[in-house]
């Protein structure tokens, strides 16, 4: 009987974790097999490619490699409701060159639009550009309110390389954007005595 309860508890926990992820409004947020659903940078500014060997929490991520002048990015346009609170972020790592240098780096930002296609001039933005390290970490922000009149948001993961650093690379994985409470939860440990 105890074993049945433990199996039921494990199933409930895995279903609960999936339920949290279900609120994520991004398409292919984990880059499991490709960059499907994401718009990518034009090749003259650098490259955005799928990397099946790196990722957090599992393999599969986007590799951002910029040239010494430009911004490389992946992005999506997502419908929103004005006045609603949203969470956003991603798991990020930078390296091998100069992690976290001021003025260069990797981040996530939101551009809010008054049309459904992210095509008009954006009305405001929220930027998350922490000092990224050379180890995977989650960077996120909760309870950002969609401004009045917003119908869509352009979710962007980017890398700036305006200092001309050679071989600046970044990876992103496990991106999230959705109503408050969307921040993904990862099971840290599970044991049965």
Q: What is the pLDDT of residue 141?
A: 81
Q: What is the pLDDT of residue 6?
A: 36
Architecture of domain 2-179: Sandwich (2.60)
DSSP 8-state class, residue 185 = -
Q: What is the pLDDT of residue 97?
A: 55
Domain spans of the chain, in order of start: 2-179
List the pLDDT tens digit at each of the 193 positions of the chain: 444 433 333 433 333 333 344 489 999 999 999 999 999 977 777 889 999 999 999 999 999 987 777 788 999 999 999 999 999 999 999 876 554 454 467 889 999 999 999 999 899 998 887 767 788 988 888 789 999 999 999 999 988 877 666 667 889 999 999 999 866 655 445 567 6
Whole-structure pTM value: 0.80
Spatial neighbors of 61 by CB under 8 A, at least 6 apart, are 31, 50, 51, 54, 55, 171, 172, 173
DSSP 8-state class, residue 15 = H
Residues in the chain: 193
Q: What is the pLDDT of residue 148?
A: 96
DSSP letter string, 140-172? EEEEEEPPTT--EEEEEEEEE-TT--TT-EEEE
How far apart, in whole angstroms, are the C-alpha atoms of residue 155 and residue 12? 31
Q: What is the pLDDT of residue 60?
A: 96
How far apart, in whole angstroms, are the C-alpha atoms of residue 73 and residue 159? 6
The dihedral region occupied by 35, where left means phi > 0, alpha psi between -120 and 50, and beta the remainder, is alpha
With tokens 């992103």, the residue in question is 172
Q: What is the pLDDT of residue 38?
A: 97
Q: What is the pLDDT of residue 186?
A: 53
With tokens 């939860």, the residue in question is 185
- Strands of 46-51's sheet, edge to edge? 46-51, 61-66, 169-179, 85-94, 137-145
């Amino acid at each position: 009987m105890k074993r049945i309860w433990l199996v039921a508890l494990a199933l409930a926990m895995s279903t609960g974790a999936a339920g949290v992820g279900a609120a994520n409004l991004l398409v292919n947020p984990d880059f499991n097999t490709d960059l499907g659903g994401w718009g990518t940078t034009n090749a003259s500014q650098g490259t955005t490619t799928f990397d099946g060997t790196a990722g957090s929490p599992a393999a599969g991520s986007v590799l951002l490699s910029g040239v010494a002048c430009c911004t490389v990015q992946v992005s999506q346009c997502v419908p929103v409701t004005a006045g609603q609170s949203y969470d956003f972020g991603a798991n990020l790592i930078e390296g091998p060159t100069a992690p976290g240098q001021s003025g260069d780096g990797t981040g996530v930002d939101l551009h809010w639009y008054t049309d459904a296609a992210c095509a008009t001039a954006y009305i405001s933005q929220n930027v998350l550009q922490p000092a990224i390290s050379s180890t995977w970490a989650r960077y996120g922000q909760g309870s950002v309110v969609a401004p009045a009149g917003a119908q869509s948001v352009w979710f962007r993961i980017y890398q700036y390389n305006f200092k001309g650093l050679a071989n600046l690379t970044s990876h992103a994985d496990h991106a999230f954007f959705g109503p408050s409470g969307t921040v993904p939860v990862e099971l840290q440990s599970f044991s049965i005595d």
